[in-house]
Amino acid sequence: MKLNYTIKIGYRMALFLSILLTYNTHAVNFDANLTDFDQNKKNKVTGLVKDNYGALPGVHVIVKQTNVATSTDLDGKFTIEVAKGQTLVFSMIGFEDKTITYQSGNNFNIVLNQKTSTLDEIVVNAGYYSVKDRERTGSIARVTAKDIELQPINNPLQALQGRTPGVSITEHSGVPGGGIDIEIRGQNFMGLQNSGRNNPFYIIDGVPFLSDALGTNNGNLSYEILQAKISPLNAINPSDIESIEILKDADATAIYGSRGANGVVLITTKKGTQSKTSFTISSTTSFSKVPKFLDMMNTQQYIKMREEAYLNANASFPANAYDINGVWDKNRYTNWQKELIGDTATAQETSLGIRGGNEFSNFNINYSHSESTTVFPTDKGYKRNSALMSYNYMSKNRKLSVNSSTLYSNQSNNLPTADLTKQSLTLAPNAPSLYDKNGEINWQDGTFRNPMANLKSSYENKTSTIILNSSISYTLIKNLNAKINIGYTNNHLEERVLIPHTIFNPAANLTSERSESNLSNQKSQSFIIEPQLAYNLSFKKHSLNTLIGFSYQQNDNESDQIRAKNFSSNAFIKNIGAAKEQLIVSTGKNQYKYASVFARINYMYAQKYIVNLTARRDGSSRFGDDYKFGNFGAIGAAWIFSKENFAKNISWLSFGKLRTSYGITGSDNIGDYAYLDTYTINRYQYNDQVTLSPTALYNPKFKWENTTKFEIATELSFFNDRLSSSIAYYNNRSSDQLIGTTLPSTTGFNSISGNSPAVVENKGWEFSIFSQNIKTKNFSWTTDFNLSFPKNELVSYPGLEQGTESSKYVIGKPIQIIKMYKYQGLDPKTGEFTFYDYNGDGKITSLDKEHTVSLAPKFHGGLHNTISYKNLSLDFLFYFVKKDNYNINKYYNSPGAAMLNLPSAMNDYHSSSNPNATYMPAIYNNPKNSLQINYTESDATISDASYIRLKNVALSYVMKIPKIKVESLRLSLQGQNLWTITSYKGMDPEFVSFGYLPPLRTISFSAQLTF
Amino acid sequence: MKTYILTYKTLISLYLFLLVISTSSCTKLVDIDSSTTQIDKTDVYNDLSTTKAALNNLYLNLSNNSLLNKSGSGISFNLSIYTDALDYYGTNISGSEMYLNTFSDNNSQSTSWWNTSYQHLYAINDFIQGVTNTDAISIELKQKMLGEALTLRALYYHYLAQLYGDIPYTTSTNYLENKNISKTTYLDVLTKIELDLNQAIEYLDYTYTNKDKFYINKTVPELLLIENYILQKKYQEAEELASSIIDRQQYKIEDDLLNTFKKEATSTIWQFSPLFLTANSATPEATLYIFSNFTTSSSVLSKKVLSLFDDNDKRKQHWLNKIIINDQTFYQVYKYKNKTNNLDEFSILYRIEQIYIDLAFALTMQEKQEQALTVLNQLRQKRGLSDLSLTLSKQETINAILEEDLKEFYTENGRRFFSLKRAGKLNELTQSKPNFRPYHDLFPIPSSQIQINKNLLPNNPGY
């Protein structure tokens, strides 16, 4: 059955391809005939094409009647054969076309004029089609190479922070090769914030790429260092990117149907250009440090607190209280943050590129290598090699075009198994020195769990990624274009955790028998084929663009995890086969298929009124038989009112557009095979026999999640496009949420999959302003500003009160709320925390967790300025966000209770001499421990984590040295996270989980030479 | 002209192509290979080997992550620090809360006991349904498997009822019934357990499925039934059943105490298979209790228990290990000894010595102290101790039994807590545990569960 079906698909593909190919040969004949017809009357003419500044290479020259074409060489010269009465057309992107009718002569000087307003000409990628920015009906934000290149970043998503309205980016960690959270217009879907349910859909050069974090759910080997969340986009070198487009509203995303709900991120890599072949060599060196340490207690404060804790408990110092019972020096002090996370991380990136070609055939190849170390006391770190190769071809008659790109990268990361930040924030300040007199790891007679010992173990990963894309398009007849897009991606992540016996105290006399090696592999492959047909028609004032296409995608994922112990020598620790004990923890394979038909009809009248209809029917293997298919679609409309007569007289208004859209997108983010009633093979055995456990509660009747999106926006430009702005309001509602409904464990599981009746609304305003403040011959200053006010609300949830989710959600509040105790201060008499007794029963129980706090951002935005004077330019970006987050109170225990250091703010603990304190008294074996636990679940652990951050500064200088054929030499100095204004008391307000390295402050120098 | 005609042909083919794709066999386009890790439920019970795999899972659940697991998260350890059996030197929050008797209704350990128990009960109930309804397995084999599953169900409820009092009792797998389930009273739960155990005793026999005693035989439901009878105060029935097991002489107390916790021990009634049989990994007990320096979950025998041991007591010589840390002497639990390269130890859940203690207790509660002390002395002799006088009073006898129970079974299945509780003597703990209160005889129903099923209200007193 299965085989049969594969053959069928293969046959259809072959059929389609053969149609294209056979047609092609005939088409060429057709041209040849025409050319023959006119041959005898031809004159050979030469000429030079220039603009105001000089010769123009790569200008397309065509004889209109014959399709004979050429392009100008490096010196702007061309030679072409033309007959009398025929028309010569000169064209080049960014310039106005020039047409002359040939009469006589054989030498021409042509001057092309630069197009006056480039804003009119900006074309944005909308995925299956492109659209002029000014004529688009959808909401598409865009970041281009010129902004991306200015930042010393590892992951392309970092470039979006503060530059795109409606897009919120949070870095998980300052460790290179880590994870990044992206949220486009808020969280549509309920479920754990880290579940990936709100991830957008990534498309790289037309090929869907992995959306979910890597390294999750397969042993989570990187949990303690990268939080088991590795961004798949680390594979892409940011400097290979030409543009990133973010599709937000229904009009832009509905053509992606069930993948469009969380927005779509389109990444386009750099292509070849119409120019002489040029080589680019660039090199960047960066230095990064932790921007701010948390202010911790010093030894004196710490010892006082610890001793008081035992005094208050009427207890003598026990044998394991080494910090105060005399085993450790009570006067010693170490700033553990400086020791453990205080190094400077260095990074070095070099790249070599070559690009060139003409309008018909061009290429771009770029190879780059980067290496970076960490702030931990180890010289290991992250490496990436990446190669981008793209080739474009267009036949001379411009009917056939072939585009292909290959992106390959391999990354390796070699890190400590655990982020040392947590230890640096808890280690007792009088803990012994890391190394003894002989330079060996100091165990202090077995009393010190030395963090350096853990550095003998390591977490290593290797990722290799291939993204292949080719698209062939052919103009069948005038205005009718057929295209087939084929893509393949392959991603392989190999992770290892190596734990040699040397991490233990040598006094224990352990041997490599205790050494352990863990290996986990995650492979995913995806194949996509998308034949499409586009038909464009314009007559008089009408213009029609249509598109119909089919998409078929197959994903195969494979994962396995092996644990090995007991090696004859640590030299073999990476060789699982050499271990005496090998355990296959898990192996798994799953498949996902997806098939769709999509269509678009775009109608424009008089370049003023535009209607855009998109539709998609999707089938997904993730649903039961009756629910496999879903229909999605949108309507968008725009009115360019500045072209109306009444507006033409308003001299200061150069452009005005009103646009709106409404539609439905969806999501099938529920995991493969979830609709089946199955048993799962466990990783562990009993009596050496396989064990099978029930997988989940059975519910085959779930269907697509839906997000209905509405947007209305206006785009205005003033004073000859010197000032432009856009204001957008959106309202998205997500329903039929595919979420496990929480169930009490008496049902056997924690939840059941299904469509929840809850409706979540994300609405908000997005503002952006671009201003060309000053523009003179030598000096220019531009300002970009954007601001987003997202608002999330649980609109309705029938059955919430009676149901199981009432402890998590409240109707009318965001889905990111947390229900907490309401903290009411410390009772100065008793030194006890007090909480508000919501149900008035005289005691504080979990029923009093009725205070709600939201961690959703209230607003965020960016302010970006570019100032340039002659060849010097300065670019800087401020990013700001207003939100609440957890503070130190969430993560630290009662003062003195354990051998752990605390932030110096916690010095303010209650005692007879300090009755008006913030924290409970220092006490060992705290009998009021339950109050401390309530405290960590109260609103005292939440505080304002808003910040304004100078995210990026770049100062660059460009030189042209024609004498030695240097096209350009750019020197730049860049900085990242240079300065932060915040009232947040923790280490850094930008974090997802406590105890991980915050985003680093980076300074880098780079030089780029093009010749 | 020729080419134009071709174009239209091409066009038509293209449209046909799109049409074909979009209409026919769309569902098949998204048909997928089955997963390599999942098996359809109906297939599981239509085949003997997969049914056995489902049964093995029930054992794996119990040994690996149920409340009876032997690592730091099970009751064997936690009820030992909760009572006076062990002193805790670790730093884990949940461990400290347990040791100091300060925890609230969201204690992670107690929450996990509750949750995993009901998750495992679902698997048991699903198994019982699957096996009952299948035609692929012979009647004898069906009965044997059902006997094992019923014993497991009784075992979970037996411990839940003692820990939490009134509890939800279900034999159904229907989540619509189970999600709003109310509590069944403690006594009713005991009656239901008795029914399951009697059914299991009928289905099972005394032989073992494998020589390592990894699977339940008839003795296991009998042993649980003895405990169930005692809780129901049916002391005579308990006495008769206990005597019959001892008289049958299938199990013998090992003379050499070094053999008691070895895998070939003749006293063993039921022991767990390790996660990987061939890996020679240490038992969870050896991993947990043997250490040379304090770690995050370290504990040692409490000073109180240590003071109870006579120097002649072979248990002190063989089941405890003296260590010195920073010039202080501690005795660590040393029943299981193989910290590495473990060739001869499995975790033992039940051994015959328990029947002696239970028999002695059942006898005492029927005022038959002399018989009780005779039984107790049989155990004492094996441990190198002199006989107790047969003329002790009832209270003295109960105290003697409790002391012997503690010295014999420290860190095994939380017996200290349950034995004190059934003797009505939990309050004695207040002497050594300053925070211990009378309401600590029951654990709180997890707050997270009460929040999502209001029928579980009210919580146990005190929380």
Q: Nearest 5 degrees, angle CA A93-CA A96-CA A100?
A: 120
Least confident piece of the model among A947-956, A964-973, B219-228: A964-973
Average pLDDT on A45-70 reads: 80
Mark whether A589 and A511 lie in a shared domain. yes
Average confidence score pLDDT of chain A? 88
Mark whether A154 and A27 lie in a shared domain. no
Supply the angle between the helices B48-65 and B108-133 in degrees, to the nearest 10: 160
Per-residue pLDDT of A614-636, as tens digits, reads 999 999 988 888 888 889 999 99
Residue A591 has its nearest CB partner, among B33, B114, B118, at: B33
What is the secondary structure of A110-158 as a DSSP string?
EEPPBPS-GGGG-EEE-SSSEEEGGG--S-EEEEEHHHHTTS--SSGGG
Residue B419: is it exposed, middle or buried by C-beta count within 10 angstroms (0-12/13-18/19+)? Answer: buried
In the numeric block, the tokens 């586009």 are attached to: A534
Q: Does residue A314 lie in a domain region?
A: no
In this prediction, residue A15 has a pLDDT band, given cuts at 50, 70 and 90, of very low
A588 and B2 within 8 Å at the Cβ level: the answer is no
Q: Does residue A893 lie in a domain region?
A: no
Mark whether B229 and B205 lie in a shared domain. yes
Do A497 and A413 meet the contact criterion of CB atoms below 8 Å apart?
Answer: no
Residues of B in contact with A621 (CB under 8 A): 30-32
A588 and B36 within 8 Å at the Cβ level: the answer is yes
Expressed as residue numbers, the domain containing B261 is: 48-275+346-428
Portion 218-237 of B in contact with A at CB < 8 A: none
Q: Judge whether residue A741 has pLDDT over 90.
A: no
Per-residue pLDDT of A805-850, as tens digits, reads 787 899 999 998 999 999 999 999 999 999 999 988 888 888 899 9
Mark whether B265 and B383 lie in a shared domain. yes
Confidence (pLDDT) at A675: 83
Confidence (pLDDT) at A674: 81
Residue A550 has its nearest CB partner, among B18, B280, B281, at: B18
Q: What percent of chain A has pLDDT over 90?
A: 56
How many angstroms away from the CA of B42 is the closest CA of chain A?
8
Mark whether A81 and A219 lie in a shared domain. no
In the numeric block, the tokens 């990136």 are attached to: A349
Q: Judge whether residue A1 has pLDDT over 50.
A: no
In the numeric block, the tokens 């965020």 are attached to: A860
What is the secondary structure of A319-363 as a DSSP string?
TT-TTTSSSS-TT----HHHHHH-SPEEEEEEEEEEEEE-SSEEE
Pull the structure tokens for residue A191.
């479920």
Confidence (pLDDT) at B394: 96
Residue B119 has its nearest CB partner, among A9, A447, A745, at: A745
Do B243 and B378 meet the contact criterion of CB atoms below 8 Å apart?
Answer: no
In this prediction, residue A98 has a pLDDT band, given cuts at 50, 70 and 90, of confident
CA distance A878 to A843: 48
Mark whether B163 and B242 lie in a shared domain. yes
Q: Judge whether residue A63 has pLDDT over 90.
A: no
Mark whether B77 and B130 lie in a shared domain. yes
Average pLDDT on B63-76 reads: 94
CA distance B189 to B205: 25
Confidence (pLDDT) at A30: 38
Residue A609: is it exposed, middle or buried by C-beta count within 10 angstroms (0-12/13-18/19+)? Answer: middle
How many angstroms away from the CA of A20 is the closest CA of chain B?
8
Q: Judge whether residue A277 has pLDDT over 80.
A: yes
Instruction: Give the CATH number, domain containing residue B64.
Output: 1.25.40.390
Mark whether A47 and A170 lie in a shared domain. no
The 3-class secondary structure across A590-645, one letter per residue, is EEEEEEEEEEEEEEEECCCEEEEEEEEEEEECCCCHHHCEEEEEEEEEEECHHHCH
How many angstroms away from the CA of B39 is the closest CA of chain A?
5
Task: Note the ipTM here.
Answer: 0.89
Which amino acid, residue B71? Answer: S
Q: Does residue A39 lie in a domain region?
A: yes
A629 and B26 within 8 Å at the Cβ level: the answer is yes
Confidence (pLDDT) at A315: 84
In this prediction, residue B7 has a pLDDT band, given cuts at 50, 70 and 90, of low
Mark whether B91 and B150 lie in a shared domain. yes
Pull the structure tokens for residue A422.
């947590």
Do A744 and B449 meet the contact criterion of CB atoms below 8 Å apart?
Answer: yes
A587 and B105 within 8 Å at the Cβ level: the answer is no
Mark whether B154 and B288 lie in a shared domain. no
Cα-trace Rg, chain B: 27
A588 and B448 within 8 Å at the Cβ level: the answer is no
Which amino acid, residue A246? Answer: I
Per-residue pLDDT of B105-116, as tens digits, reads 878 899 999 999
Mark whether A70 and A156 lie in a shared domain. no
Paired residues of A859 in beta bridges: A882
Is B59's Cβ below 8 Å from some Cβ in A?
A: yes
Interface mutation vs chain A, best among B5, B7, B23, B38, most A CBs within 10 Å: B38
A690 and B53 within 8 Å at the Cβ level: the answer is yes
In the numeric block, the tokens 């049916």 are attached to: B234
Pull the structure tokens for residue A475.
């103009």
Expressed as residue numbers, the domain containing A800 is: 123-127+136-298+333-435+445-680+700-816+855-887+945-1010
First-last CA distance in chain A: 58
Paired residues of A970 in beta bridges: A958, A1008
The chain A residue lying nearest B1, using CA atoms, is A30
Mark whether B321 and B228 lie in a shared domain. no
Q: What percent of chain B has pLDDT over 70?
A: 94
Per-residue pLDDT of B159-185, as tens digits, reads 999 999 999 999 999 999 999 999 999
CA distance A544 to A538: 6
Q: Does residue B2 lie in a domain region?
A: no
A–B CB contacts, 8 A cutoff, strictly below = 302
Q: Nearest 5 degrees, angle CA A639-CA A645-CA A646?
A: 90
Per-residue pLDDT of A757-797, as tens digits, reads 899 999 999 999 999 999 888 899 999 999 999 999 999 99
Per-residue pLDDT of B70-119, as tens digits, reads 999 999 999 999 999 999 988 777 888 899 898 778 788 999 999 999 99
Average pLDDT on A657-667 reads: 93
**What does residue B186 show for φ and ψ, rounded to 5 degrees?**
-50, -50
Q: Does residue A579 lie in a domain region?
A: yes
CA distance A535 to A548: 9
Do B323 and B272 meet the contact criterion of CB atoms below 8 Å apart?
Answer: no
Instruction: Give the CATH number, domain containing residue A12.
Output: 2.60.40.10
Number of domains in chain A: 2
> Other CB atoms closer than 10 Å to residue A490's CB: what's the count?
16
Average confidence score pLDDT of chain B? 91
Per-residue pLDDT of A702-716, as tens digits, reads 888 899 999 999 999
Mark whether A493 and A528 lie in a shared domain. yes
Residues of A in contact with B57 (CB under 8 A): 682, 686, 691-693
Mark whether B171 and B288 lie in a shared domain. no
SS3 content of chain A, % helix, strand, coil (to 5): 15, 50, 35
Average pLDDT on B186-192 reads: 97
Q: Does residue B463 lie in a domain region?
A: no
Residue A319 has its nearest CB partner, among B104, B278, B328, at: B328
Confidence (pLDDT) at A6: 43
Mark whether A107 and A164 lie in a shared domain. no
The chain A residue lying nearest B20, using CA atoms, is A12
How many angstroms away from the CA of A411 is the closest CA of chain B?
29
Q: Nearest 5 degrees, angle CA A848-CA A849-CA A853?
A: 140
Number of domains in chain B: 2
Do A309 and A301 meet the contact criterion of CB atoms below 8 Å apart?
Answer: no
Confidence (pLDDT) at B19: 55
Domain boundary, last residue among A78, A111, A144: A111
- Residue spans of alpha helices (H) in A779-937: 929-936
- Residue spans of alpha helices (H) in B219-322: 219-231, 235-248, 284-289, 303-308, 314-318
Mark whether A254 and A372 lie in a shared domain. yes
Mark whether A478 and A550 lie in a shared domain. yes
Q: Does residue B306 lie in a domain region?
A: yes
Residue A150: half-sphere exposure toward Cβ, Cα within 13 Å: 21
Per-residue pLDDT of A874-921, as tens digits, reads 999 999 999 999 999 998 888 988 899 999 999 999 998 999 999 999
Q: Does residue B25 lie in a domain region?
A: no
Is B437's Cβ below 8 Å from some Cβ in A?
A: no
Mark whether A81 and A184 lie in a shared domain. no
What are the CB-based long-range contacts (under 8 Å, 24+) for A327-330? Answer: A327/A444, A327/A445, A327/A447, A327/B326, A328/A428, A328/A430, A328/A431, A328/A432, A328/A444, A328/A447, A328/A448, A329/A430, A329/A432, A330/A299, A330/A303, A330/A430
Mark whether B234 and B95 lie in a shared domain. yes
In this prediction, residue A40 has a pLDDT band, given cuts at 50, 70 and 90, of low
Mark whether B140 and B105 lie in a shared domain. yes
> B311: which residues sit within 8 A by CB, 6+ positions away?
none
Paired residues of A468 in beta bridges: A406, A488
The chain A residue lying nearest B346, using CA atoms, is A687
> Other CB atoms closer than 10 Å to residue B21's CB: what's the count?
20
Is B293's Cβ below 8 Å from some Cβ in A?
A: yes
In this prediction, residue A34 has a pLDDT band, given cuts at 50, 70 and 90, of very low
Mark whether A741 and A662 lie in a shared domain. yes
Residue B25's region, left for phi above 0, alpha for psi from -120 to 50, else beta, is left
Q: Does residue A440 lie in a domain region?
A: no
Mark whether B215 and B130 lie in a shared domain. yes
Instruction: Give the CATH number, domain containing residue A478.
Output: 2.40.170.20
Q: Which residue has the higher pLDDT, A655 or A799?
A: A655
Residue A691 has its nearest CB partner, among B36, B60, B448, at: B60
B25 and A8 within 8 Å at the Cβ level: the answer is yes
Q: Does residue B170 lie in a domain region?
A: yes
Is B24's Cβ below 8 Å from some Cβ in A?
A: no
Is B171's Cβ below 8 Å from some Cβ in A?
A: no
Portion 384-423 of B in contact with A at CB < 8 A: none
Interface mutation vs chain B, best among A1, A481, A587, A686, most B CBs within 10 Å: A686
Do B349 and B278 meet the contact criterion of CB atoms below 8 Å apart?
Answer: no
Portion 66-85 of B in contact with A at CB < 8 A: none
How many angstroms away from the CA of A762 is the closest CA of chain B?
27
Q: For the whole model, what pTM was predicted?
A: 0.81
Which amino acid, residue A64? Answer: K
Q: Does residue A307 lie in a domain region?
A: no
Pull the structure tokens for residue A662.
């409404």
Is B208's Cβ below 8 Å from some Cβ in A?
A: no
Mark whether B102 and B178 lie in a shared domain. yes
A747 and B292 within 8 Å at the Cβ level: the answer is no
Per-residue pLDDT of B245-270, as tens digits, reads 999 999 999 999 999 999 999 999 99
Mark whether A103 and A177 lie in a shared domain. no
* Among the listed residues B375, B441, B369, the one whose alpha carbon sits nearest the alpha carbon of residue B398: B369
Confidence (pLDDT) at A997: 92
Across A195-291, the runs of DSSP E, i.e. the strands, are: 201-204, 207-209, 241-247, 264-269, 275-289
CA distance B331 to B302: 8
Do B379 and B357 meet the contact criterion of CB atoms below 8 Å apart?
Answer: yes
Q: Does residue A96 lie in a domain region?
A: yes
